[in-house]
Structure 1
C-alpha cells in the first residue's frame, strides 16, 4: 500500500470510528509511559532508609490521594478549573472546543467517560505526579474525587459478577529507562504503586504489541506487567469500563495509586523486553499493613487537608513544591488567622531554601497578624517567634535569636502549663543561644529546666531526654569540662540505643558528639571509632547530599589533621564541601568552615 512508504502515515481510514480508536491507542501509548511508579520495600530493617529515599514518593502520592478524597468540593472548584483551562488553552481552538463541551456536558456523562475521552482532560490527568503542578492537582481535585467515586460505584455493582468468576489476570505494557528498570528489579518481593489511576487491558497480546511498538521508538526497557487480581479481597476499587468508556474497549480501570506485590521478573526474548508479575494487594496484607502503618506515623496523621501535605513536603525537603502549595493557599485564605498560618509556613519554606531574609519577612508578617488577633491563637504566636529565632541562629545573629526565643518562652510561660513540652522546647533553644554567646551558666540552667519538664512527662528512656543530655554535653564541652561532657553524651546514646532503631540518625548525632570529645582529649582511636559509626549510620539513613554527612566527613578530616595526615584530611574536607555546596546556601556557616579547612590543608601540603 502506498501509505506504507511514508513512516509518518499510520493508516488510511474511510470512517471516523477507526480513526478515533487509533488515536486513542497512540494517546494511550504516550500516557501509559508517563505514569510514574513508587516502590516500597518489604525489608523492615531498611524502612528508615527508604522513608528518606524511595518511599518519599510513595508517601507523597498516598497522602495526596487521602487529601483529595477527603475534601468537600464546592461549585467554585469546577468554575475555577474552567477559568484556568480557558487561560491555558487560549490559543488552541480544538481544546477550547473540548473545554466548552466539558463545561456544558460534564454532568451528562460519567467521569469514566470523560477520563477516556481523547481530549485535554486525559493528558492532564496522566502527567507524572512529579511533573504535575500542585495548582493543577488542587484545581482538578473535584474530578479526581468524582472519578474515584465513579469507579467505586461501578465496582460495587460488578462485585457479584467478579465473585463468581474468581481471580483473573489483566495486563499493562510500559516503557522504562534502564535506571528505572534496575530499581524495579531490585524491589522483587516488595511493593509497587502506580502514582495515578491505572488503565489495564484484558488482552495480553494487545499489551505485548503495545510495548513492543513502544520500545521501537525509544532506548528504554519494555515491561509487560502481568497482574493477578483476586476480587474477593478488599482493596483499591477497580471496574470493567467496556460499557462506560468513550471508546468501548475491554479494559479494567483501577482507582488512584493501586498497590501491587512484585513477583517473578524474567526476560521475554531479549534484555529490552521483560515480564513482571504483580499481585494486587489486599488491605489485609499483613506486611503492607505493617509498612504503611510505619509510614503513616511519619506522614503527620494528626493534620488534615493541605496542612498535612505541606508538612510532608517540608519533611522531605521538597521546598519548591511546598512553596507552590502555600502560594496557592495564601490566595485562598479567607481570614487573618488563615493568612497568619500560611505566612508562618512560607517562612519555614524559605528557611529550608536558605533564603533567610525572605523567611524572616514571612515570619514577621505572621507575627504582626497574630499580635492583632486575640486569644485563642496567642500561644501560636510563640511558634513564629521561635522559628524566626532559629533563622537568626543560622545567620549567626545569636543576640537577635536569643531575643526571639525569649519572647516565645515568655508567651508559653503565660499560656501553657508548667510541664508542657513546648515550654521545654523553648528552654532548649534559649540554652543553645546562651551557649553560643558564651554564657554557659545560663545555658546549663535552661537545658536543665527542659530536662526537668521532660522527666515529668516522659518515661526515662524517651528520646526527648536524650536531646537534653546531648545539649548539656555540648555546654560542658564548650566549658572544657570533657569528663561531664562525655558522661552526658553517653547517657544520651544509652537512651537512643534502647528507644530507637539501631540506624536512627539520632544515634549518629550522639556518636558524633562523643567523637568530638574524644578528639579534644587526645583519644584518637575512640574518636575515629565514634565518628566512623556516625558516618556509617548517616550513610545508611540519609540521602547522599544531606548536610549531616558533610559534618561527619569534616570531623573525620579533623582527626586526620591531628594525626598529621594532611592529604587524607583534605580528601574528607573536600567531600564535606561538595555535599554542603549542593545542600546549603553559599553563606552558610558550615559551607564557609569547610572552605577554610580546605585552604588550610592546601597550605600544609
Structure 2
C-alpha cells in the first residue's frame, strides 16, 4: 500500500490554532481516535460548521499518510457497505502524531493545515506520545473521557460533560465529587474565567482536605491549581500559600528529580517574580533548571523558558552580563527546537536587544533587533503589533547612532504596522506616532 491523502474538518479554539500556525515544521498530535475521509468535500462540510462559532477557527486538515513510516494502527473502511453516502473513512488509533508542513487560508473562512506522517524512531516523537498518554491518564472510562476533552481543547464540551456528571454524582461520593469540581475549576481557569474558577477549586480543596491525608498527591494537584489561579488574580500571598502546600507534599512523596517538583519550583519562582523579589525567584528557577537538565533533552522548550526566566531575574538584579548569557542560552535552544521563523525566537532576540540597549551597546542591540525583525517578517502569521514594536525599537537605536534617515524610515514603518491592526488610540500607537513626529521635526 502506497502513500495516500486523507482529510479531516473540525473547529479549533483560536489560541490552539495559533500554536499550530506558529509551529511549522513541528509536531502535532491528535489525542483521540482520529476519523478521516478521502473526500475533501465531506471534510470541508464538517469544517464549515465551525465558521460561525465565536472563539473558534474552522480547520481543514490535509494529511499525507505513508504506511511504511507511520507506526500508529489505522483501519481503512473503503469497502464498508454502511457508507451509502459515498464517504470513505480511515480511522487512526491513539495517539497519532504528524509533522506540520504548511498552514494557509483555504476558502470560505476555512484554514488548511497540511500534515505528513512521521515514524516513532525519533526521541522527540516518543516523548510526545508518552506525554499525551500521561496527560490522558489511567483512570476509569469517565475520567479518561473528561481528561481527553480537556487535552483536545474542547473546553465547552468538557464543561457541559462535567456539569452533567456533577448533577448525577452523589455528594457522598466525595472522591468523585472533589475531582469533578477540580476539573470544572481547571476548565474555567483555562477559559480565563478566574473568578468563576475559584469556588470550584475551593470546594474541591475543602472536600479533599477532610477525606485525604495531608500527603496525598491529588491534594497537591488541587493546591497547585489554586496557586496558579491566585497568581493570575495577582493575589501573590494566597498563590504562595498554596504553591508551598503543594511543594511540601511533593517533596515528601516524589523523587528529587521529578518533573512535578520542577513545575512547582517554577510556579513559586513566577510568584516571587511578580513580587519583584528577584533573588528568591532566581533560587527557585535554579532548582527548576537542576531538575530539567537531568530529565529533559538538551533542546527542550522548557529548558529555554527556564534559562529565560533565570536571565530576566538576573538582569532585574543588575547582573546584566550573567543574565545575558542565560538569555543567549535560551535563544540557542529555541533555534534548535523550533523552525527558524518561530515567533519565540524573535521574542528572545528582542529581549536581548532591549538589554543591550539599556546598557548603551547600541550596535549589538541593533543586531538582535534586526534579527527579531527578520524572523517576524518571515513568520507564517505576521504579528503586526510585535513588528511595530520592533520597528520602533530599531528607530530609537538608529536615532542614538545618529543615523537620522534610517531612524525616520523605521519610525514610519512602526506607524504603518500599527495601522495594519487598527489600534490607532492604543498607548503604543500614540508612542510610535510621537516618535515619528519628533524625527520629522528634527529633519525639518
Compute the displacement of 1:364 (Å).
1.7
1:488: Cα distance to partner?
Answer: 0.4
Aligned to 1:528: 369
Greater Rg by CA: 1
- The question of 1:439 aligning with 2:277 is answered yes
CA distance in structure 2 between the partners assigned to 1:436 and 1:346 by the alignment? 27
Report the TM-score, using the length of structure 1 for normalisation: 0.48
Q: Distance in 1 between matches of 2:390 and 2:161?
A: 38
1:236 is aligned to 2:76: yes
- Report deviation, 1:423: 1.1
Which residue of 2 is the match for residue 320 of structure 1? 156
CA change 1:289–1:535 in 2 (3 A) is: closer
Q: Shift of the alpha carbon at 1:306?
A: 1.2
The TM-score with structure 2 as length reference comes to: 0.63
Please show how residues 332-371 of structure 1 align to structure 2 within 5 Å: 333=169, 335-371=173-209
Deviation string, structure 1 residues 488-528 (Cα, Å, up to 9, x no partner): 01112223334555455654553343233234334341242
Tell me how far apart the structure 1 counterparts of residues 215 and 388 of structure 2 sit (CA, whole Å): 43
* Cα distance, 1:368 vs structure 2: 1.8
Partner of 1:410: 248
The alpha-carbon distance between structure 1 residues 307 and 495, as it changes in their structure 2 partners (threshold 3 A), is: same
Q: What is residue 420 of structure 1 aligned with on the other side?
A: 258
Could you tell me whether the CA contact under 8 Å between 1:469 and 1:489 is conserved in 2? yes
133, 144, 157: which one aligns with 1:301: 133
Task: After TM superposition, list the pairs within 5 Å mapping 1:376-391 onto structure 2.
Answer: 378-391=216-229
Conservation of the 8 A alpha-carbon contact between 2:178 and 2:203: yes
1-side partners of 2:264 and 2:178: how far apart?
21
Q: Distance in 2 between matches of 1:130 and 1:289?
A: 28
Q: Alpha carbon RMSD of aligned pairs, Å?
A: 4.6
- CA–CA distance in 1 between the matches of 2:186 and 2:267? 17
| Whole-angstrom distance in 1 between the partners of 2:21 and 2:131 | 14
Aligned to 1:201: none
Q: What is aligned with 1:165?
A: none
CA contact (8 A) 1:551 1:576 kept: no
Q: What is the DSSP-based 3-state SS (H/G/I as helix, E as strand, rest coil) of the residue aligned with 2:256? A: coil
Measured in 2, the distance between the counterparts of 1:504 and 1:427 equals 27
Paired residue secondary structure (2:276): coil
- Secondary structure of 2:9's match? strand
Cα offset for 1:602? 5.7
1:372 corresponds to which residue?
210
Whether 1:63 and 2:32 are equivalent positions in the alignment is: yes
CA distance in structure 1 between the aligned counterparts of 2:133 and 2:300, rounded to whole angstroms: 21
Q: In 2, are the aligned partners of 1:559 and 1:569 still within 8 Å (CA)?
A: no
Q: CA 1:507–1:254 in structure 2 vs 1: closer, same or farther (change >3 Å)? A: same
CA shift in 2, pair 1:536/1:418, >3 Å? farther
1:109-130 Cα shifts (integer Å, max 9, x gaps): xxxxxxxxxxxxxxxxxx9488
Alpha-carbon shift at residue 558 of structure 1 (Å): 4.7
CA distance in 1, matches of 2:80, 2:415: 63
Contact 2:146 2:158 (8 Å CA) reproduced? no
2:246/2:264 contact within 8 Å kept: yes
* SS of equivalent residue, structure 2 residue 348: helix
How far apart in 2 are the matches of 1:400 and 1:376? 18
Check whether the contact 1:469–1:488 (CA below 8 A) recurs between aligned residues. yes
Closer, same or farther in 2 for the Cα pair 1:421/1:552, shift >3 Å? farther
2:302 match: 464
Are the structure 2 counterparts of residues 386 and 575 from structure 1 closer, same or farther at C-alpha, using a change threshold of 3 Å?
farther
Quote the residue 1:598 is aligned against.
429
Contact 1:473/1:489 (CA < 8 Å) preserved in 2? yes
Quote the residue 1:38 is aligned against.
Answer: 9
Q: Return the offset for 1:457.
A: 3.3
Q: Does 1:311 align with 2:150?
A: yes
User: How far, CA to CA, are the matches of 2:131 and 2:297 in structure 1?
Assistant: 24
**Local SS of the residue matching 1:38:** strand
CA 1:595–1:65: 2 relative to 1, 3 Å: same
> Matches of residues 98-117 of structure 1 in structure 2 within 5 Å?
none
Number of residue-to-residue matches in the alignment: 353
- Secondary structure of the 2:255 match is coil
SS of the counterpart of 1:235?
Answer: strand
Q: What are the ranges of 5 or more consecutive residues in structure 2 without an aligned counterpart?
A: 1-6, 11-18, 36-44, 51-57, 66-72, 94-115, 138-143, 400-406, 438-444
